[in-house]
């Protein structure tokens, strides 16, 4: 949510900031602005809309060696130009951009207004510009360090002063902020994606740290003193974060799933000629002795990651015979949870920056319990703060609607289930080998599913004009139904509900008529007969039935209006195969309706505020 991009160097920083903001568009925003420094003056431009609109509105010849830009996702105040960032004090001395929420801004604003301050926006951020300006005596770093203790809440700041040329200051508490190093240029951003065309060297600010950047170098400060940061080499390339010829990032990431799954599974799992499968743990992963101490597992997540956790529960309980409970991290955090000895807390997240999941992780750590992060960004805050880390290795995911990270989460949780099952003696050699074979086969089967994508596109176009949709499933099909509904609503804006099909007679059946498309995840298995019964119930109410079914199914096709067939020989990993048709359905429906697939309205890739 929101994006910061700042540059200080010896050349014109304005084009680089524009390019960096464009690289951050996936984070979600509704307005955008920039401030640049030249000849002892700060110049500012803000617009409602996209980065392209800002670029078009920039004054001809805009130039400055130091600049900060910001994409705003509205929290305090409406979507207007005067609420867009950057914000300045009335004298134009200080400029501030901000990601996060200042909890005590109303109190600070009232105090400043009593002292005669005049505000031009409804935001919480503007109070920070006023406070820093009042402390400023020619030393921006000192002024920032004086003001930060007064601010309660979550923030990542980028700050400039008009009469300190070349100086860029960043500060972080709760919201991510990174520093990148180029040749004669230093950069500040919400994440590393904008750096990839400049450098592969970066550092990640920890809470309470301040970055002081000049064209000649940088300094990291904490509690008034200089500290030595850890420099990280970014594993991703600029090509990894590009569309590579695809129309949208989301479509590219859907088609990257076979490769992402193969990368993860081949790195972790091997099947010798005989005996148990071999699972290799990456550096920093949970050791066997920690697994042996666990008597139950709690999976903490939100959104798509929560749906992966729901699948994970079924995998872990079925394979390892250990109690497992998926939890919404925000609900877990605020309900005074019972945190018991012997519980392993696993946080599941793509970005590693989701504020609710991070807060739940920190709560568990306060009780001294071990935590495992199943995370796609290995340098994220959650990855750095968790006791153990199991990286998804899926590569950068730019589209707001998660696709490849979701299926990689399921695969990673299955690997965890297999490790538990073998350690606990819950699996025979034969069963362990069969399950490992299912996982090793899933990448190739996913490739086959994607080769038949035109069939799903035809279905999506057929129903793209509908305003309501229902997704139903049982077992692993239930969380997939939730995920399918989430994908459709978040990018096509079609109202969609996902649920366990056993619930349909408890109310939702009242919604079914000839205008209601109902998608069933209905592969053969122990719940198949019940799913067929549910399909007949919908058919009797004239509902439009779409079904994802087994390749050799000869029954459901008699009742369904449209079917999509998959080879179902990957056991519980068939859940991964069923995900691709759901993702493609949402994608093609959104394109047909003219929606902005990669930047859906009101949403952000990484939810960094509560």
Known catalytic residues are 2, 605
Contact 167, 13 (CB under 8 A): no
CA 376 to chain centre: 9
CA dihedral sign, ordered 477, 480, 482, 487: negative
Q: What is the 3-state secondary structure (H, E, C) of 419-465?
A: HHHHHCCCCCHHHHHHHHHHHHHHHHHHHHHHHCHHHHHHHHHHHCC
**Residue 521 is encoded by which pair of tokens?**
């995840």
- Phi-psi map region of 342: left, alpha, beta (phi>0 left; psi -120 to 50 alpha): left
Contact 330, 356 (CB under 8 A): yes
Residues with Cβ within 8 Å of 377's Cβ and at least 6 positions away in sequence, in order, are 191, 350, 351, 352, 353, 383
In the sheet with 225-227, reading across from the earlier edge strand, the strands are: 87-88, 94-102, 153-161, 168-173, 209-214, 217-222, 225-227
**Residue 119 is encoded by which pair of tokens?**
């505000």
* Euclidean distance between CA atoms 489 and 498, whole angstroms: 11
Across 283-384, where does the E strand assignment appear? Answer: 296-301, 324-328, 343-349, 371-375
Contact 109, 57 (CB under 8 A): no
* Euclidean distance between CA atoms 170 and 189, whole angstroms: 9
* Euclidean distance between CA atoms 550 and 33, whole angstroms: 51
Spatial CA neighbour of 28 closest among 418, 440, 303, 410: 303
Contact 12, 30 (CB under 8 A): no
314, containing H or E segment: helix 303-320
Peptide bond into 477 cis (omega under 30): no
What is the DSSP code string of 236-268?
Answer: --TTTTS-TT-SSHHHHHHHTHHHHHHHHHHHH
Tell me if residue 468 falls in helix, strand or coil: strand
Tell me if residue 159 falls in helix, strand or coil: strand
Ramachandran angles phi, psi of 272, nearest 5°: -65, 175
Token pair 């119930």: residue = 537
Environment class of residue 416 by beta-carbon count within 10 Å: exposed (0-12), middle (13-18) or buried (19+)?
buried
* Euclidean distance between CA atoms 548 and 148, whole angstroms: 54
Counting DSSP H helices and E strands in the chain, the numbers are 18, 27
**Residue 364 is encoded by which pair of tokens?**
């568990």
* Euclidean distance between CA atoms 543 and 518, whole angstroms: 7
């Amino acid at each position: 949510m929101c994006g910061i991009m700042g540059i200080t160097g010896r050349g014109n920083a304005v084009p680089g900031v524009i390019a960096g903001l464009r690289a951050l568009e996936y984070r979600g925003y509704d307005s955008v602005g920039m401030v640049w420094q030249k000849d002892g003056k700060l110049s500012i431009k803000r617009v409602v809309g996209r980065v392209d609109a800002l670029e078009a509105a920039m004054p001809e010849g805009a130039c400055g060696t130091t600049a900060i830009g910001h994409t705003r996702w509205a929290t305090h105040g409406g979507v207007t130009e005067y609420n867009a960032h950057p914000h300045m004090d009335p004298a134009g001395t200080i400029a501030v951009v901000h990601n996060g929420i200042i909890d005590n801004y109303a109190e600070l604003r009232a105090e400043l207004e009593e002292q005669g301050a005049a505000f031009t926006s409804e935001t919480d951020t503007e109070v920070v510009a006023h406070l820093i300006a009042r402390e400023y005596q020619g030393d921006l770093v000192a002024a920032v360090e004086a003001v930060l203790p007064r601010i309660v809440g979550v923030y990542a700041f980028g700050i400039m002063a008009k009469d300190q040329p070349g100086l860029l200051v960043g500060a972080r508490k709760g919201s991510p902020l990174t520093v990148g190093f180029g040749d004669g240029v230093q950069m500040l951003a919400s994440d590393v994606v904008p750096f990839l065309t400049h450098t592969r060297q970066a550092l990640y600010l920890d809470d309470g740290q301040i970055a002081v950047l000049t064209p000649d170098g940088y300094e990291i400060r904490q509690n008034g003193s200089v500290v030595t940061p850890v420099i990280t080499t970014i594993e991703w390339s600029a090509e990894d974060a590009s569309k590579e010829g695809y129309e949208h990032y989301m479509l590219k990431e859907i088609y990257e799933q076979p490769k992402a799954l193969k990368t993860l599974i081949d790195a972790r799992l091997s099947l010798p000629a005989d005996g148990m499968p071999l699972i290799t743990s990456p550096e920093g992963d949970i050791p066997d002795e920690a697994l042996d101490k666990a008597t139950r597992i709690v999976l903490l997540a939100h959104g798509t990651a929560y749906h992966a956790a729901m699948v994970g529960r079924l995998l872990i309980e079925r394979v390892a015979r250990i109690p497992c409970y998926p939890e919404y991290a925000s609900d877990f955090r605020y309900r005074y949870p019972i945190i018991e000895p012997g519980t392993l807390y696993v946080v599941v997240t793509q970005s590693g920056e989701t504020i609710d999941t991070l807060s739940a992780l920190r709560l568990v750590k306060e009780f001294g319990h071990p935590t495992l992060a199943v995370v796609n960004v290995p340098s994220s805050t959650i990855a750095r703060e968790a006791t153990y880390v199991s990286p998804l290795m899926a590569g950068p995911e730019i589209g707001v609607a998660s696709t490849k990270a979701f299926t990689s989460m399921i695969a990673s949780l299955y690997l965890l289930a297999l490790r538990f099952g073998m350690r606990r003696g819950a699996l025979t050699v034969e069963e362990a080998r069969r399950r490992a074979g299912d996982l090793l086969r899933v990448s190739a089967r996913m490739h086959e599913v994607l080769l038949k994508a035109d069939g799903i596109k035809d279905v999506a176009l057929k129903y793209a004009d509908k305003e309501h949709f229902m997704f139903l499933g049982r077992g692993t099909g239930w969380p997939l139904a939730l995920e399918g509904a989430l994908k459709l609503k978040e990018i096509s804006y079609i109202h969609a509900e996902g649920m366990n099909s056993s619930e349909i007679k408890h109310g939702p059946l009242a919604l079914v008529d000839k205008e209601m498309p109902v998608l069933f995840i209905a592969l053969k298995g122990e719940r198949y007969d019940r799913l067929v019964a549910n399909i007949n119930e919908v058919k009797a109410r004239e509902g439009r039935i779409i079904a994802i079914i087994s390749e050799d199914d000869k029954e459901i096709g008699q009742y369904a209006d449209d079917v999509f067939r998959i080879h179902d020989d990957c056991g519980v990993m068939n859940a991964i195969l069923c995900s691709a048709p759901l993702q493609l359905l949402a994608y093609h429906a959104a394109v047909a309706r003219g929606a902005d697939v990669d930047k859906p309205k009101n949403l952000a890739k990484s939810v960094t505020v509560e």
